[in-house]
A and B are shown apart, each in its own frame.
Chain A
Amino acid sequence: MIEVLNVHKSFGALEVLRGVSLNVAAGEVVVVLGPSGSGKSTLLRTINHLEKVNRGYITIDGDLIGYRRRGGKLHELKEREILKQRKDIGFVFQNFNLFPHLTALENVAEVAELADARHFLERVGLADKASAYPRQLSGGQQQRVAIARALATRPKVVLFDEPTSALDPELVGEVLDVLRDLARSGTTMVVVTHEIGFAREVADRIVFMDEGVIVEEGPPDQLLDHPVHERTRAFLSKVL
């Protein structure tokens, strides 16, 4: 479903991604772990072309993201075409980024029919908050609206960039419940998170990143309980 091949990304002199390759199968849930500054979020943002890569490429369902191959060259797509591609890629931000001047329902309806928008709000358990403005909702509720909004374009994959990191501890659970529910229903997901317990329970595969490369990957019990790499062990000893 998602194919990331040898992706490099630099911000000025700082090389944030140094040759990352990753495949995600349809229906698979991949959790990305790693210390801050390891390039996890940047990797996620290159997948929906919020960040342009310097080298390498990304495809979703076989479609090249951000470029078109023609006559032995990669032609950059027009913004309009990139925006169209992004409808296939849901993205959930750490800071929710709900539109503050629109109600919960209007936020979702910005990218879907009203009936669909109601359906997705119901799916995250917030049908009764349809007419509330973001400011009137708790952090957990805001993130659930943001998830409903990301689902509303009916994307092929959904990317989560630390969806619970900005939440008070007692609100993390309700958001993880929604993620758990999505994973069970066969949604293809890539989740950057620090919630190790969630990763162990829900992930089909965990990827550990450090300093812009994937250090190791594997099923949760293998990677969390028997990490091969020294760097993985060092990281896990700090967070477990």
Chain B
Amino acid sequence: MTSGTLTLVSTKDDDLSALPVVPARHPWRWVGVAFVLVLAAQFVHGLVTNPAWDWPTFARYFTAQSILTAVGTTIFLTVFGTVLGFALGIVVAVLRMSKSPFLSAVGWTYIWAFRSIPLIVQLLFWFNISYLYQRLSLGIPFGPEFVSFETISLISPMGAAVLGLALHQAAYAAEIVRSGVISVDRGQLEAAAALGIPRFRQFRRIVLPQAMRSILPNAANEVISLFKGTSVVSVMAIGELFYQVQVIYGRNARVVALLMVATIWYIVLTTLLSIGQHYVERYFARGDRR
């Protein structure tokens, strides 16, 4: 036994456990940091010293009444686009996941159609719907009418914008909801079924809270993208933020300062949404923390 023993730590001088540890150095990281800091300093210096940024004009318009009203319109469009879009999106996702091949095809077709049409084309289409159908009416299909409306009075430019944004959003929301639902482990549904929990309650209490974990980051992306995407409704002359700054710089030619007004508002509101996202995600992550 003794003859075959290999001794790794032989003498007291070689006792490695007593030696201090020197961490590896990364000098190139410091070079990288210095490089980026210099660039950032130049950028900030330019923002402050270059008169072309025209900060006094920025300050004058940032909280002007017309801009605040436009911010309100942008928020209104985002909220309605999101709420109606996700409500319809949940319906479409349920259709798409239906065991009935017909209903599933209906869901698939909706998603296919509204993902295929560019949002701006769709908005212009709704804006001009009254060329296509002058009157809309409720009644028996192919039979008598009960009430009828002038299309142009029923669908205002604002109505067309909300309709277009919501229908567009619903197609994406449907896929996000579906991806969340199919990410829930099959065993969860089996357990719920084995316990005899009613179908709707299974969805609300078991599936949805777990699906939310993967739905939320994607949904937040969509809300933020819709929030900035509302700027496309400026083609319909609706007074949201981007349209409003265009109108103002059309008058006074202070293009850069007014674009910065819009930019900073978009950044502020996106930041608020991101903070909200953090807290909502944390709520749905309960049970995942030790």
Contacts and interface: CB of A to CB of B under 8 A. Distances in A.
B189 to A, nearest CB: 9
A134 B206 CA distance: 14
B206 A86 contact: no
A83 B199 CA distance: 8
Given A100-B288, A136-B290, A87 B196 contact: yes
A153 B287 contact: no
B169 interface: no
A97 B191 contact: yes
Given A97-B187, A97-B190, A99-B188, A149 B288 contact: no
A100 B210 CA distance: 8
In terms of DSSP, what is the predominant structure of the interface of chain B?
helix
A101 B194 contact: no
A149 B198 CA distance: 16
B287 A133 contact: yes
B45 interface: no
Interface string A82-122: 01111101010101011111110000001100000000000
A153 B192 CA distance: 12
Nearest to B198: A83
Contacts of B190: 50, 93, 97
A48 B194 CA distance: 7
A86 B196 contact: yes
Contacts of B194: 48, 50, 86, 89, 91, 93, 150
**B-side interface size class:** 20 to 34
**A-side interface size class:** 20 to 34
A55 interface: no
Given A80-B198, A133-B287, A136-B290, A93 B187 contact: yes
B197 A110 contact: yes
Nearest to B186: A97
Contact of A50 (B193, B197, B205): B193
Interface in B113-141: none
B193 A86 contact: yes
Q: Of residues A87, A93, A95, A99, which shows the largest number of chain B Cβ atoms within 10 Å of its Cβ?
A: A99
A89 B290 CA distance: 33
A101 B210 contact: yes
A110 B286 contact: no
B284 interface: yes
In terms of DSSP, what is the predominant structure of the interface of chain A?
loop
B229 interface: no
A136 B287 CA distance: 8
A99 B193 contact: no
A50 B194 CA distance: 7
A135 interface: yes
A111 B191 CA distance: 12
Contacts of A80: 198-199
A134 B287 contact: yes
Nearest to B206: A99
Contact of A97 (B188, B205, B287, B289): B188
A153 B195 contact: yes
Contacts of A170: none
Interface string A133-170: 11110000000000001100100000000000000000
Nearest to B288: A135
B288 A86 contact: no
A39 B139 CA distance: 58
B186 to A, nearest CB: 9
Contacts of B193: 50, 83, 86
B209 interface: yes
Contacts of B290: 135-136
Interface string B258-290: 000000000000000000000000001011111
A83 B191 contact: no
Contact of B287 (A87, A100, A110): A100
A225 interface: no
Interface in B149-199: 185, 187-188, 190-191, 193-199
Given A93-B187, A110-B205, A101 B286 contact: yes
Nearest to B189: A97
A128 interface: no
A79 interface: yes
B196 A83 contact: yes
Contacts of B209: 101
14 contacts: A48-B194, A83-B196, A85-B196, A86-B195, A86-B196, A87-B196, A91-B191, A91-B194, A95-B187, A99-B188, A110-B195, A110-B206, A133-B286, A134-B287
Given A50-B190, A95-B187, A135-B287, 10 more contacts: A83-B197, A83-B198, A87-B195, A91-B191, A91-B194, A93-B190, A97-B188, A99-B210, A111-B197, A135-B288
Closest 5 CB pairs of A and B: A97-B191, A86-B196, A91-B194, A133-B287, A87-B196
